[in-house]
Structure 1
Amino acid sequence: MVGDRKWATGAGVAAAVAAAAGVRWVWRHQDELMLRPPLNEWTFTHMSLLLPTETVPRAARPSPLPRAPRPPAFTYEWDGERRTLADLHARTRTTGFAVVHRGRLVHEEYPGRFAGPDRRFQLFSLTKSVTSALVGIALEDGAIGSVDDKAVTYCPQLAGSAFDGPTVDDLLHMSSGAGGEEDYEDPDAPVNRLMRAVAGQGGTVLEAVRSVRPHTTPGTWFNYSTLDTQVLGWVLEAATGRTLAQYAAERLWGPIGAESDAYYVLSRGLPRTAVGGGSFNAAVRDMARFGLLMARGGRWGGEQVVPASWVERGRGAGLPHLETGALGDRYPGHYGYANQWWTLGGERRAFTGLGIYGQFLWVDPEADVVVVKTSAWPVADDPALDGETAAALTALVDALAAEA
């Protein structure tokens, strides 16, 4: 009996030690765990519980989004098989989905466990396309003088850094020549240093941005980098005297009649700063409104919200190193890039905003179709899931475009 008690006591101590070690491991790896299944579906709809935020209030008088619901009648081919929309949702972990055709919401569904029409979704790098629209508005207002202005003119805190030289235009086209590869699996990649700073796990956001080095002459080479858009967001805030949330509320969310509050996630540490390239959270229907604004050349309800010429810039830059298929081996061949949007080329010159873990805002002005897809992929970047989604959305738009 004594031996049994000693064994039981020893086992209890061992279990307690193991439990404590487990708790410490979970604490150290909490950010990674929250971004992986099964937790990431919850994370991507509850960011306001995890980090500080700044609200982008809904419009005082929301604009109606006319509805004409009908089942999407299309299939797509992938990996040698004919597949359906239900297959797409299951295979690519869709959480929210909406289709607007000819100005009407024709389909909407929320396969995600925590999803719904009123839920705000973390849009990750789809934020960049929102930032681009705000920059276009600020240029039209005269707050930003020109896309040829150097970023450091508005952000003197970047003097002497790799961002002391690139222009606003360089940043818009991801051609700053600063920083390294956007590798979400490399702990020392610039984007991960930035995210650790936002989460309060090391240094400030400014220190993370200043830590990168120049690698190429600005304006000559495409290198996708969230730090480029972080600087772009700072340029916008300095030029307008508004935070990103304030300017978005006044000049975008209000004018398009958004029906739900959106918000930007802010850094934990002071000074609080929004991630202009990855922290916007919004409802699917309101992102459909934003997509419809872009599909209609920047007009909403008779008002020119975003300059038409600015919308056109997002459909193609006319620069060889940014053309569809010319971005380099690290990027899918079906994309080009322009003005913080991914371009799709072809006769219709459609374009899309993208965010890691499967966020899409697909805009085809010629077909008069907008598709919003939020997702919770198992990993940040998956070429197969991206390729299948692009094939499916292309087939969906083609089917709608063929309708009489």
Structure 2
Amino acid sequence: MTSTTQQPTSHAAHPSSWWEHPSDLVMRRPFNEFTFTHMNWLMPTERVARGPASRPLPVAPEPLDLTYRFDDRDLSLADLHRRTHTTAFVVLHRGALVHESYPGLFAGPRRRMQLFSLSKSVTSVLIGIALADGAIGSIHDQVTDYRPDLRRSAYAGTTLADLLDMSSGVGELETWETPDSAIRQFERAVLSGGDVAAIIRSTPRTATAGESFNYSTFDAQVLGWVLEAATGQSLAAYASTRLWSKIGAERDAYYGLSRSHPRTAIGAGAFNATARDLARIGRLMADDGGGIVPADWVRRSRGSGLPHLAVGALGPSGYDHYGYANQWWTLGESCFHAFTGLGVHGQYLFVDPAADVVIVKCSAWAAEDDEDRDRETVTALRRIADHFA
């Protein structure tokens, strides 16, 4: 594969059974509370270095003894954490840390959390910065302008905008339930040393580019490769110099890498950071980019106005309370243009610019997707934002 070669900064010895059946052990409760906070023990990584000095978050503690209404019941935040297996929970209001708790067995302020597909939203932030830097010319550029090795794949003819909006038309419905689905093949390749790029290059076209939404980890992974090709840096190196070193992060973050050589960062699903530092990214998105991310890029992430990306219009690969834009899930005008990054097993970076509220919720659900827990979580996060608004 032609993506940037990367040297991992940590290795671990692993029993062979873990690599033969990774999901059986990593994802099962309660073991996933440990693995989701120790992914650098389980796969090669590359460090995303913080800046020379951390900037502590302002602290203005406030007890959140509010309740939210779900399933015909009034429930507390303690109920939310118990019912949805919360491991870390951080709330910022006007940039100040107003609430923080770590119900997870292994979680804490310094623990770096596996964010899964929330990594896609971080990749989007980096694409916006690269556009402002001039490393990427336009979102209307072709994927193959940066990755010519994809000219013989279904990604020929797609634009970066198509990838950003999960509208490439490449691939079937992404499902974790089918053992031999494309996403399961991708997972096995990442964990066991298979050819990640070959799996993506072999994925067929199923729809016209730019016309319909189909959630795609492959679209986001290709975006990460485009970013590396455009900047001449690994994803971790660019994230460090242009983002992580500028936000006052308390700890280095890291990307999980594929086990195959050359290593490649899993920009679509293996970014790991503390809940507080992730909240700092949310603060940028609530504050029109904070001078680090272009303001017009942040606005694009709040909703595009395209009919096939509207709330309720995503089809079978998106719940009907979400829309989509720019690798973020949107919640529509009724929620004052709140939007959220999402990761499987219950990872959230919820941003409400109108209320100036940012909420990080990390979780350890037993299943990758759980619509009931997702609806309950969104209801509770919306209630917190309304409380401050």
Normalising by structure 2, report the TM-score. Answer: 0.94
1:178-227 Cα shifts (integer Å, max 9, x gaps): 011110111222221111111125x3111111121000110001000000
The reply to whether residue 215 of structure 1 matches residue 215 of structure 2 is no
1:320-363 Cα shifts (integer Å, max 9, x gaps): 00001110144211100000000010251010000000000000
Aligned-pair CA distance for 1:59: 1.7
Rounded Cα–Cα distance in structure 1 between residues aligned with 2:169 and 2:363: 31
Partner of 1:259: 250
In the alignment, is the contact (CA less than 8 A) between 1:73 and 1:399 conserved in 2?
A: no
Aligned-pair CA distance for 1:24: 8.8
In the alignment, is the contact (CA less than 8 A) between 2:189 and 2:258 conserved in 1?
A: yes
Distance of aligned partners of 1:173 and 1:24 in 2 relative to their CA distance in 1, 3 Å threshold: closer
Partner of 2:219: 228
Rounded Cα–Cα distance in structure 2 between residues aligned with 1:330 and 1:141: 33
In the alignment, is the contact (CA less than 8 A) between 1:181 and 1:189 conserved in 2?
A: no
Partner of 2:228: 237
The reply to whether residue 386 of structure 1 matches residue 374 of structure 2 is yes
Partner of 2:6: none
1:266-302 Cα shifts (integer Å, max 9, x gaps): 0011010011110100000000111001100001xxx
The SS at the match of 2:243 is helix
Partner of 2:352: 364
Query: Which stretches in structure 1 are left out of the alignment for 5+ residues?
Result: 1-22
The reply to whether residue 205 of structure 1 matches residue 205 of structure 2 is no
The SS at the match of 1:363 is strand
The SS at the match of 1:127 is helix
Aligned-pair CA distance for 1:129: 0.5
In the alignment, is the contact (CA less than 8 A) between 2:174 and 2:317 conserved in 1?
A: no
The reply to whether residue 351 of structure 1 matches residue 336 of structure 2 is no
Q: After TM superposition, where is structure 1 displaced by more than 4 Å over at least 4 residues in a row?
A: 23-27
One-letter amino acid of the counterpart of residue 207, structure 2 = T
Distance of aligned partners of 1:280 and 1:26 in 2 relative to their CA distance in 1, 3 Å threshold: closer
**Pairing partner for 1:157 from 143, 149, 157:** 149
**Pairing partner for 1:187 from 179, 184, 196:** 179
Rounded Cα–Cα distance in structure 2 between residues aligned with 1:223 and 1:397: 29
In the alignment, is the contact (CA less than 8 A) between 1:181 and 1:190 conserved in 2?
A: no
Rounded Cα–Cα distance in structure 2 between residues aligned with 1:338 and 1:190: 23
**Pairing partner for 2:318 from 327, 331, 343:** 331
The SS at the match of 1:374 is strand
Partner of 2:64: 72
In the alignment, is the contact (CA less than 8 A) between 2:303 and 2:324 conserved in 1?
A: yes
The SS at the match of 1:32 is helix
The reply to whether residue 309 of structure 1 matches residue 296 of structure 2 is yes
The reply to whether residue 94 of structure 1 matches residue 86 of structure 2 is yes
The SS at the match of 1:254 is helix
Aligned-pair CA distance for 1:25: 7.2
1:132-183 Cα shifts (integer Å, max 9, x gaps): 0000010111100111111011011111101111100000000000011110
Distance of aligned partners of 1:104 and 1:27 in 2 relative to their CA distance in 1, 3 Å threshold: closer
**Pairing partner for 1:375 from 358, 363, 372:** 363
In the alignment, is the contact (CA less than 8 A) between 2:215 and 2:318 conserved in 1?
A: no
The SS at the match of 1:196 is helix
The reply to whether residue 104 of structure 1 matches residue 96 of structure 2 is yes
**Pairing partner for 2:168 from 170, 176, 186:** 176
Partner of 1:196: 188
The reply to whether residue 31 of structure 1 matches residue 31 of structure 2 is no
Distance of aligned partners of 1:28 and 1:272 in 2 relative to their CA distance in 1, 3 Å threshold: closer
Greater radius of gyration (CA)? 1
The reply to whether residue 53 of structure 1 matches residue 45 of structure 2 is yes
One-letter amino acid of the counterpart of residue 363, structure 2 = S
Rounded Cα–Cα distance in structure 1 between residues aligned with 2:38 and 2:177: 23
> How much is the aligned-residue C-alpha RMSD, in angstroms?
1.3
The SS at the match of 1:162 is coil
One-letter amino acid of the counterpart of residue 221, structure 1 = S
In the alignment, is the contact (CA less than 8 A) between 1:149 and 1:168 conserved in 2?
A: yes
**Pairing partner for 2:279 from 259, 274, 288:** 288
Partner of 2:261: 270
The SS at the match of 2:192 is coil
One-letter amino acid of the counterpart of residue 69, structure 1 = P
1:303-322 Cα shifts (integer Å, max 9, x gaps): x1000000000000110000
Distance of aligned partners of 1:70 and 1:204 in 2 relative to their CA distance in 1, 3 Å threshold: same
The reply to whether residue 114 of structure 1 matches residue 106 of structure 2 is yes
Aligned-pair CA distance for 1:26: 7.1
Rounded Cα–Cα distance in structure 2 between residues aligned with 1:39 and 1:55: 25
Distance of aligned partners of 1:223 and 1:330 in 2 relative to their CA distance in 1, 3 Å threshold: closer
Normalising by structure 1, report the TM-score. Answer: 0.91
Query: Which stretches in structure 2 are left out of the alignment for 5+ residues?
Result: 1-14
Rounded Cα–Cα distance in structure 2 between residues aligned with 1:130 and 1:26: 28
